[in-house]
Amino acid sequence: MKKILIAFVVLSLLVSVSACSINNKTLAITLYYTNEDNSQILTETRKIKAAQGQSIPRLALEELLKGPQTKGLKSTIPEGTKLLNVEVKDKIATVNLSKDFANFPGMMAESLAVISVVNTVTDLEGIEKAHILIDGKEFTAPSGNPYGPLESYDIKQINQDISNKKETITLYFPDEQGMYVVPEQREVVKSEPLEVIVIKELMRGPETPGLASPAIPKEAKLLSVQVKDEIAYVNFSKELIEKHIGGSTGEMMTIIPIVNSLTELPGIKKVQFLVEGNKEQTLAGHVIFDEPFERYEEWIKR
């Protein structure tokens, strides 16, 4: 009788272990991200554990929203985006995201985010298309038309198209003493107007050792850049003035890097600074700031 009892206990344990292994299976999923400068769409394979009855598409998208674990990859999903729901019917995954998903800085960023979601979902077994909703409503493209159900994107072709959009720009950064500016060439993807990219890249800072960032307060935001009659109108938020370090040198190391970098572009000969859409008499009390600036050749370090 004791032998029978022991055998029964062992058999029960084996069945229990077997049930756990069935109910908690490990899956390898493919997540879609980009490299640091958005010039390539790259993938990351991640293992996840799924209990019986759990939605694999939900688990995959939740992992996508967490961001990459691989160094050199960057998430395309706007910060704060939440996954509200995922439903799969007739091989179409309807993905309902929070309104934060629609906060894109440009068309290129939107395209990359859509590709990340669509390809992450359509890589899963039994799903052929992804239909993105925002707070339960149709997600519309920049054209104004709904995206609708989307099939998987050809990543190889897209990466080739992105590569064809690369441009080389010349940026000017202050030297360590703040006496001159030094040119630095940088390859960028033309995802938005080059004059906008130039300012954003300047605000990112130099890649060359021994150079400094322009004296643009980190709190300042670029609101817009518009070119008219060969003048670039660069519009910053009020923090450009309110948080400025001050001093005549500090003012010049805000103005010159921007002016010289923008006048490298064809069709721009002068730069007019605006703050919240208005001309200001001075930046920080020294340099006249309400007139267009021409290029400063004499400040370039030879």
Residues 36-57: tens digit of each pLDDT: 888 899 999 999 998 888 899 9
Banded pLDDT at 13 (limits 50, 70, 90)? very low
Q: What share of the chain is helix, strand, coil (3-state, %, to 5)?
A: 30, 30, 35
- Identity of the residue numbered 132: I
Query: Helices marked H in 35-154 — which ranges?
Result: 56-66, 107-122
Could you tell me which of 154, 114, 113, 110 has the C-alpha nearest to residue 131?
114
The number of helices, as runs of H, and strands, as runs of E, in the chain is: 7, 14
On whether the CB atoms of residues 68 and 74 are closer than 8 A, the answer is yes
Q: Which residues of 244-256 are buried (b: 16+ CB within 10 A; e: fewer)?
A: beeeeebbbbbbb
How far is 58 from 55, CA to CA, in rounded Å? Answer: 5
Across 11-16, average pLDDT: 47
pLDDT, greater one: 244 or 192: 244
- Identity of the residue numbered 57: P
Across 157-169, average pLDDT: 87
As a whole number, the mean pLDDT across the chain is 89
Banded pLDDT at 9 (limits 50, 70, 90)? very low
Could you tell me which of 70, 100, 108, 107 has the C-alpha nearest to residue 83?
100
Banded pLDDT at 178 (limits 50, 70, 90)? confident
Q: Which of 4-13, 242-251, 289-298 has the highest mean pLDDT?
A: 289-298
Contacts of 106 (CB under 8 A, 6+ apart): 191, 192
Across 164-170, average pLDDT: 88
**pLDDT of 234:** 97
Residue 283, exposed/middle/buried by CB under 10 A (0-12, 13-18, 19+)? buried
SS3 192: coil
Element (H, E) at 7: helix 2-23
Residue 262 tokens, joined: 């923008």
Q: Is the pLDDT reported for residue 20 higher than 70?
A: no
**pLDDT of 119:** 97
Q: Is the pLDDT reported for residue 239 higher than 80?
A: yes
